[in-house]
């Protein structure tokens, strides 16, 4: 018989995190941890839980894939008619969490969002598998559909439409960039005394400060 959920727990002992362990910038640190997650063979190491809120303060979360990390922010791509894009347009606020459970780590990025330009979208689009390109045209993301066959029929229609030619980016599809104001790195520790180090942007000084947070 399975134990009650309340009894499930792990005493985290995989590592520790000190200020001196951090890279000089949040994006270098995030890229380093993502690289270590890849080397460890974790599934979908660039998967992140994206949380958004609408103008009535209803919060929604879902998993998306990060496609770029640099000094500007964290980039992902999606349908601009989706629920997530609708909420991002309403509030311009979001957060993402990278859940690297296998390393007993997570990283959370909080900030505002901006749309990517058409050139950046086109550059990423050109490297997508053709089936993913066709799926972006076929799926009315977040809309109600009658059944699975409806999606299969939409895909078949799009496949026939672009047979023998390159698939261009749909006008309703593209990228978002999350521009951080806070980036927290969390390392699980024993006795629930986890290490939490946060990069926080100080607008008064125009630079970043590093803070330790109580677990």
- The residues carrying an active-site annotation are 192
Quick one: which of 195, 185, 183 has its CA closest to 13? 195
Judge contact between 168 and 183, C-beta under 8 A. Answer: no
Element (H, E) at 67: none
Tokens (6 digits) for 212: 């330790």
Write the secondary structure of 113-146 as one string of H (helix), E (strand) and C (coil): EEECCHHHHHHHHHCCCHHHHHHHHHCCCCCCCC
Contacts of 61 (CB under 8 A, 6+ apart): 49, 50, 51, 52
Tokens (6 digits) for 20: 């001196």
Judge contact between 208 and 31, C-beta under 8 A. Answer: no
Q: How many residues appear in the chain?
A: 215
Quick one: which of 76, 108, 113 has its CA closest to 183? 108
């Amino acid at each position: 018989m399975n134990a009650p959920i309340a009894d499930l727990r792990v005493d985290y002992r995989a590592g520790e995190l000190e200020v001196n362990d951090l890279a000089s910038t949040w994006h270098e640190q995030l890229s380093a941890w993502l690289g270590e997650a890849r080397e460890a063979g974790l599934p979908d190491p660039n998967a992140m839980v994206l949380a958004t809120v609408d103008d009535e303060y209803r919060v929604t979360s879902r998993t998306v894939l990060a496609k770029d990390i640099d000094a500007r922010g964290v980039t992902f791509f999606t349908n601009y008619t989706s629920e997530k894009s609708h909420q991002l347009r309403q509030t311009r606020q979001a957060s993402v969490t990278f859940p690297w459970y296998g390393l007993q780590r997570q990283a959370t990025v909080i900030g505002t969002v901006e749309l990517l330009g058409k050139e950046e979208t086109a550059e990423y689009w050109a490297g997508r598998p053709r089936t993913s390109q066709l799926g972006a045209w076929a799926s009315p993301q977040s809309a109600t559909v009658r059944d699975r066959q409806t999606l299969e029929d939409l895909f078949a229609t799009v496949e026939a439409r672009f047979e023998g030619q390159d698939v261009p980016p749909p006008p309703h599809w593209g990228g978002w960039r999350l521009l951080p104001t806070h980036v927290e790195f969390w390392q699980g520790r024993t006795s629930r005394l986890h290490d939490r180090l946060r990069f926080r942007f100080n607008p008064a000084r125009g630079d970043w400060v590093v803070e330790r947070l109580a677990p």
